[in-house]
Chains A and B, each alone.
Chain A
Amino acid sequence: MKLSFQNPIRELAKFRVDDTLLQNLLRSFYGVLVIIDYWQFMSLVKMSNYAEAVWRWPVAWLTYFASNEQGMILAVVLICTMAFHIACMLHPAETGKKSVAFVLFFMMVAASSSFGKMDHHLYGFMFASFTLIFVKPFSNRRLEVARTRFYFWATQTMVLGTYSLAGLWKVRKLFQQGIDGDWANLNPVLLQVTRISIQNYSHNPDLGRWIHFAPLTMSLWIIMVVAETFAFFGSWFPKQQRLIGVAIILFHASTAYLFEIYYLPAAILAALLFCANPYVERHGSSSKHALL
């Protein structure tokens, strides 16, 4: 495995992009967003039962309407978002449609962040739907091609950057807690197993068996935190793109399995941007040139 750490844009330039693949990627991206819009609305309806909304600035105009009308207006915004996402799916090269779709989606994410805490599940999709506005398949001018390449790189870097930010916080808190004499952060799996054992009224031997795996779970956790922290540089390695995509999907699968933390949209985004990265595909024999 040869790792190259150079200017990522120049690195990507060595790979000739198949525009059909780029177009299909954009179509899939907006197709997934149509489904996500629906989930988004269902979670909005659910959250509005629990808490009073304090609308964030992109949807602050909702306060001009009576509180019983706000839901209906949001539903209209949602239907428009879905319609524009379908339009983008059909015409993935049109900047105007993609821009409007981004603004509407930005408002929808703001709406679901208005119930006390940020809904960061869709931030990856939100950043991507901004930078992918400028990704245009089938452009003839050399500059346009370079621009498309840059924005695709920026999309990847922005998405990976969010992992790095979460990783940096984990490292910081690990040392902050460690200085106080508590190194529990090194192996959160044990606490989780304790919690589940108590919740299931299971007997100690169940947990005893897990304790033997403590070095394993700890080393896996440390590898995960290190990988998460340095994820930002993932887009610097064109040949390892599919490996990065699979790693992110496995990461989300394991957090879902062990900690019951579900980030399905992020896993889908990883599959689209990294596993199906059109810049590292070659005609006919894709597996020959890229790892995995």
Chain B
Amino acid sequence: VTKRVARNFRLERYAIIGFMAFYIFNSQFVTPRINDQEIYPFFQWSLHSTVDNTHKFIQVRLTRIPGESSCLLQNCAYALPPVRSTRFYFLVQDMGRVQNSDPSSFEEMRGQLEAILRRSTAQTIRYELIEAKATPREFAKGGEISLGRVIYQGIVAP
């Protein structure tokens, strides 16, 4: 009996160590997939391996209608307390995300955005949602943000 148990134990050891080696090989080189989905419990284990050097986001440009003086929200948010919230920031990012895919929720979010803008200023202003990029080094120097395409613009009147 002892011999049999000892032999089984030796086999178990080989099986466990073999499984470990197999698992490592699978996760690093060929993760088995069906329909582009990994087969449970295999997993690629590539967790946050790549870091992009640029942060892409949606920036808001506000323009006062009489006088046409404009500013980026990044630079003038301190003057508009209701706007200076992470909730507003994520609302704008969500609008950028769903603009093409989900028009109904985009409209709903636009309503929320305009309500917040109306609360923060008593003037007629034009707002533009712009695709923007920032790299750490340039942003650290002088808060530089490179602006891209305008994805939406609207006007808020008191």
Question: Hey, which chain A residues are within 8 Å of B100, CB to CB?
Answer: none
Known contacts A106-B41, A168-B28, A169-B44, then 17 further A-B pairs from the complex at CB < 8 Å, ordered by chain A residue: A110-B41, A118-B43, A120-B43, A120-B47, A123-B43, A131-B16, A154-B16, A165-B27, A166-B49, A169-B46, A173-B50, A193-B136, A194-B135, A194-B139, A195-B55, A201-B77, A201-B89
Q: Looking across the interface, which residue of chain B has its beta carbon closest to that of A195?
A: B55
Question: Hey, which chain B residues are within 8 Å of A191, CB to CB?
Answer: 51-53, 55, 136
Interface stretch (choices B2-10, B61-69, B107-115, B120-128): B2-10
How far apart are the CA atoms of A210 and B140 in the complex, in Å? Answer: 9
Q: Looking across the interface, which residue of chain A has its beta carbon closest to that of B56?
A: A195
Residues of B within 8 A of A (CB): 2, 5-6, 9, 12-13, 16-17, 20, 23-24, 27-28, 37-41, 43-53, 55, 57, 73-74, 77-78, 84, 86, 89, 134-137, 139-143, 145
| Residue A207 interfacial (CB < 8 Å) | yes
Q: Looking across the interface, which residue of chain A has its beta carbon closest to that of B17?
A: A154
A198, B40: Cβ atoms under 8 Å? no
A261, B48: Cβ atoms under 8 Å? yes
Question: Hey, which chain B residues are within 8 Å of A177, CB to CB?
Answer: 50-51
User: 13 A-B Cβ contacts within 8 A?
Assistant: A54-B37, A57-B39, A126-B41, A154-B20, A161-B23, A162-B45, A170-B49, A177-B51, A190-B137, A194-B140, A197-B139, A201-B74, A261-B48
How far apart are the CA atoms of A190 and B53 in the complex, in Å? Answer: 9
Question: Hey, which chain A residues are within 8 Å of B86, CB to CB?
Answer: 199-200
Q: Looking across the interface, which residue of chain A has its beta carbon closest to that of B13?
A: A150
Nearest-CB distance from B84 to chain A (Å)? 5
Among B27, B46, B73, contact of A201 (Cβ-Cβ < 8 Å): B73
How far apart are the CA atoms of A275 and B91 in the complex, in Å? Answer: 43
Question: Hey, which chain B residues are within 8 Å of A288, CB to CB?
Answer: none
Nearest-CB distance from B77 to chain A (Å)? 4
B140, A204: Cβ atoms under 8 Å? yes
The 8 A-B residue pairs with the shortest CB-CB distance in the complex, in nearest-first order? A184-B53, A165-B45, A201-B77, A190-B136, A173-B49, A188-B51, A169-B46, A204-B143
Question: Hey, which chain A residues are within 8 Å of B47, CB to CB?
Answer: 120, 166, 169
Q: Looking across the interface, which residue of chain A has its beta carbon closest to that of B27?
A: A165
| Residue A72 interfacial (CB < 8 Å) | no
A201, B49: Cβ atoms under 8 Å? no
| Given the contacts A204-B142, A259-B48, A194 and B136 also touching, CB distance less than 8 Å | yes
Question: Hey, which chain A residues are within 8 Å of B77, CB to CB?
Answer: 201
| Residue A208 interfacial (CB < 8 Å) | yes
Nearest-CB distance from B62 to chain A (Å)? 13
